[in-house]
Structure 1
Amino acid sequence: MTTRRVLIIDDEYDIRAVAELSLKAVGGWQVSTAASGSEGVAKAASEQPDVILLDVMMPDMDGIATFQALQANSATKSIPVILLTAKTQAAEQRRFAELGVRAIITKPFKAMKLPAQIAAALD
């Protein structure tokens, strides 16, 4: 079985570090990270991960703008995107779901369960 590759795009270092550690240690994933939407879009195009874990609230280019940029690029539009968000209101969750993302994981997430949540969203 090939190792799955995930790209974590989040402006918060602590979130990236916890998610990366969990995905590597518990899930056996190959992980790369980006600290901004623009860096994430560039890495997604060059690395072609199996899935992108994308924070919604980021400065400059937020998660929605990042998702739209990924969708507009033929090299990245087929990569599944899972939103990572603290926004838990039903209306916001519906809006995110209508975008066409694969899944939504709410913050704070349980680090030990993160690999299983991502795998479930993909399978």
Structure 2
Amino acid sequence: MRTLLVVDDDPDVLEVLSLSLGFRDGWVVETVTGGAEAVSRCLAGGIDAVLLDVEMPGLDGRRTLRALREAGRLDALPVVFITAAPDLGPDLRELGALAVLAKPFDPLRIADELADVLDWAA
């Protein structure tokens, strides 16, 4: 089993992502609504990858990624951004993101796209 942490401040997006990704065999999907929660959850252990929204109040996606990288033992944790501004891709990858997926997303394809990026076989 692989545990994916999905971070987004929009509860509707979290619900759709949780349902779309939760049907994938071998995946456990956890959700949080903010960056500070994401860092705390990752520090607790057991997270294999993070799908992270860029624009959030408080600790936004960029600052969340920096906090994860500064936490030391989380510096290799795969982080994939999801954003309505995919033109930010190069900047976000420069920060250490594995990839950047676009919003809006296709709920029927998002799990396959993420599996490809993470190299998580079906």
- TM normalised by structure 2 equals 0.91
Contact 2:86 2:100 in 1 (8 A): no
Q: Quote how far apart the aligned CAs of 1:74 are.
A: 1.7
Contact 1:48 1:79 in 2 (8 A): no
* Aligned partner letter, 1:50: D
Root mean square deviation of aligned Cα: 1.1
Q: Quote how far apart the aligned CAs of 1:118 are.
A: 1.1
1:20 correspondence with 2:18: yes
Q: Paired residue for 1:86?
A: 84
Name the structure with the higher helix share: 1
Q: Quote how far apart the aligned CAs of 1:47 are.
A: 3.3
Q: Paired residue for 1:120?
A: 116
Pick the aligned partner of 1:107 from 103, 113, 116: 103
* Aligned partner letter, 1:68: R
* Aligned partner letter, 2:62: I
The runs of 5 or more residues in structure 1 that have no matched partner are: none
SS of the aligned residue for 1:112 comes to coil
* Aligned partner letter, 2:58: D
- TM normalised by structure 1 equals 0.91
Contact 2:68 2:75 in 1 (8 A): yes
Moved runs in structure 1, 4+ residues, more than 2 A?
none
Identity %, equivalent residues:
35
Aligned residues: 118
1:32 correspondence with 2:14: no
* Aligned partner letter, 1:103: A
* Aligned partner letter, 1:116: D
Contact 1:48 1:76 in 2 (8 A): no
The runs of 5 or more residues in structure 2 that have no matched partner are: none
Contact 1:36 1:61 in 2 (8 A): yes
Distance in 2, Cα, partners of 1:88 & 1:106: 6
Q: Paired residue for 2:91?
A: 95
